[in-house]
Amino acid sequence: MESTIWTEKYRPSTFDEVRGQREIVEKIRAFVASGSMPHLLFSGPAGVGKTTLSLVIARQLFGENWRQNTLELNASDERGIDVVRVKVKDFARTKAIGDVPFKLIYLDESDALTKEAQQALRRTMENYTKTCRFILSCNYSSKIIDPIQSRCAVFRFKPLSEEEIYQVVDKIATQEKLTVSLEAKKALFEVCHGDCRRLENIMQSCAVIKERIDAELVYSMASVAKPKEIQNVLDSAVKGNFVESRKKLLDLMLQYGLSGLDVIKQIQQEIWHLSVEDRKKVTMIDKCGEVEFRMVEGSDEYLQLESFLAFVTMVGLR
């Protein structure tokens, strides 16, 4: 195996290689083909192709000169007003190299920009619209101020589907000469939740261990419990075996090194597979939300998980 990071290694360079987001890709392709485009705002969860598509746009627009004509900044590292006033403005006021009349400025994690920096950015976008175009990437578009949103064409990305994840797995498996079982593919999809970057990192970790990847290895490298094991914990609690379910849960947390938040999220997914009436499932889901909130606020995670299992036991005995 090569030591390069797979996320970079398998990053597409043409629109046809981008997985998922087909509607968005076709619209962006039309912009690039016309040689003109508005400012863009990419919004969506992590690992679904926002940065990748931005770099593909740069490569397609500028060809070999794409690095000289593209400024890439991560706003979560550099988020103050000085970055917009100095770095961005200095780059924006100079002319592009080549035939394209504008440069490209890509601001990743732009929802981390302070409000003052966003106000400065809106003026920069307005004043230098002849010489540059902005691509803003964020996880939550609601954190971007309205004046910036109104200046951009907004595209909302969605997690990759199961079929698209399988296509990525097959491509990597072929190129890296790996054998991935069907159960491992399903496990990879369950673990990554449509996040392609997480998928590639888990596959790389598994490939270092062995070339035949199975579901057991996937769950182990992703540091998550198997769904069946979480199911056993809940089944014991529903049947009234509180002490047994508590022991199983503590063993799982120690075995996989899970935090309380990791566990409660997995529990929430497995509740729907319990053989109890729907009203009881809804009650348990409601309790999951309360427990997760208390953990985030700083409550002891073991105490909260025991409290949840006690609640499930009481619900099951009704």
What per-residue confidence (pLDDT) applies to 21? 84
Q: What is the pLDDT of residues 59-93, one digit of tens each?
A: 888 888 888 888 888 766 666 677 767 777 788 78
Residue 204: CATH number of its domain: 1.10.8.60
Query: Of the given ranges (42-56, 64-78, 298-312), which has the lowest mean pLDDT?
Result: 64-78
- Three-state secondary structure call for residue 315: helix
Confidence of residue 3 (pLDDT cuts 50, 70, 90): very low
Look over the chain and give the mean of its residue pLDDT values, rounded to a whole number.
87
1 belongs to a structural domain? no
* Shared-domain flag, residues 234 and 264: yes
Q: What is the pLDDT of residues 194-245, one digit of tens each?
A: 888 899 899 999 999 988 999 888 988 888 888 899 999 999 999 999 999 9
* Shared-domain flag, residues 112 and 185: no
* Shared-domain flag, residues 218 and 240: no
What per-residue confidence (pLDDT) applies to 43? 93
* Shared-domain flag, residues 147 and 255: no
Query: Of the given ranges (6-10, 18-22, 137-141), which has the lowest mean pLDDT?
Result: 6-10
Domain that includes residue 248, residue range? 227-317
Residue 145: CATH number of its domain: 3.40.50.300
Contacts of 120 (CB under 8 A, 6+ apart): 81, 84, 85
The yes-or-no verdict on residue 1 having pLDDT over 50 is no
Q: State the average pLDDT over residues 248-258.
A: 87
* Shared-domain flag, residues 150 and 25: yes
149 belongs to a structural domain? yes
Distance CA 186, CA 165 (A): 9
Burial of 107 (0-12, 13-18, 19+ CB in 10 A): buried
* Shared-domain flag, residues 240 and 254: yes
* Shared-domain flag, residues 147 and 166: no
251 belongs to a structural domain? yes
* Shared-domain flag, residues 245 and 201: no
Contact status, residue 96 vs residue 50, Cβ threshold 8 Å: no
- DSSP H helical segments within the chain, as ranges? 6-9, 22-34, 50-62, 81-82, 89-92, 115-127, 146-150, 162-176, 182-192, 196-209, 215-222, 227-238, 242-256, 260-270, 278-296, 301-317
Confidence of residue 4 (pLDDT cuts 50, 70, 90): very low
Contact status, residue 51 vs residue 108, Cβ threshold 8 Å: yes
Q: State the average pLDDT over residues 125-130.
A: 84
Distance CA 307, CA 286 (A): 14
248 belongs to a structural domain? yes
Cα–Cα distance list, 217 to 34, 86, 185, 203 (Å): 47, 48, 11, 10
Q: What tokens does 129 get? A: 């619209």
280 belongs to a structural domain? yes
* Shared-domain flag, residues 231 and 215: no
Residue 299: CATH number of its domain: 1.20.272.10
Q: What is the pLDDT of residues 145-199, one digit of tens each?
A: 999 999 999 999 999 899 999 999 998 999 888 899 999 999 999 889 888 889 9
**CA torsion through residues 80, 86, 90, 92, sign:** positive
The yes-or-no verdict on residue 52 having pLDDT over 60 is yes
Q: What tokens does 39 get? A: 């400012």
Distance CA 300, CA 285 (A): 20
What per-residue confidence (pLDDT) applies to 267? 93
Contact status, residue 267 vs residue 301, Cβ threshold 8 Å: no
